[in-house]
Amino acid sequence: MDAFLTSLFALAVAEFGDRPQILCAALAIRYGRLSPVIWGLGLATLCNCVISAIAGSAVHRWISEDALQLFYALSLLLAGVGMVAWRRPVDLLEAWRFGPFWTSFLGLFILQLGDKGQFVLMATAARTDMAAFAAVGGWIGVMIACLPAILFHRQLAEHVPMVPIRYAGGVGFLVVGAILALGAWGII
């Protein structure tokens, strides 16, 4: 249960206001048909979560418990930095002519590949050795963050203060990551 809840919460927070959420809203506005964008998001996210969980499961067998805690702390620290740091604008895939499902699936799969959420999910699977629970929790967390961007794309952009929420989440990741890193080193 630890892997499920940790990855669900961490990815829901990490993806809020992030590039996949912005791309989801842009694709929903562009196509006007929400169902193919939702299916593309769901499948792309599922593929990335499974890749991360399998990689985390492999890492679990290679390193010790203290190193796993430090690895997890590092993933949270990097996620926090990624949330408070400047980021380049999102490519809205306007030149892509694959249709709503394939543009959503391929664009979101590529965008999420190697992103901070995937690193946090991999570290969660490595730390807990519960790859399936981490993958499912991570998938649900990303869907929780990105579905509102598809369903309420116009209202979300106008009424939700994305930047302060992102900064608060980033600071939270930095604090938790720092505490876990200090604990892994035996300092606290």
3-class DSSP assignment, residue 113: coil
Quick one: residue 86, left, alpha or beta (phi over 0 = left, psi -120 to 50 = alpha)?
A: beta
What ranges in 19-130 are assigned the alpha helix state H?
19-31, 34-60, 65-84, 100-112, 116-128
For the chain, give percent helix, strand, coil, nearest 5. 80, 0, 20
| Mean pLDDT to the nearest integer, 32-44 | 94
- pTM of the full predicted structure? 0.89
Distance between first and last Cα of the chain: 26
- Rounded to the nearest integer, the mean pLDDT of the chain is 89
In percent, the amount of the chain with pLDDT more than 70 equals 98
Task: Give dist(CA 52, CA 50) in Å, integer.
Answer: 5
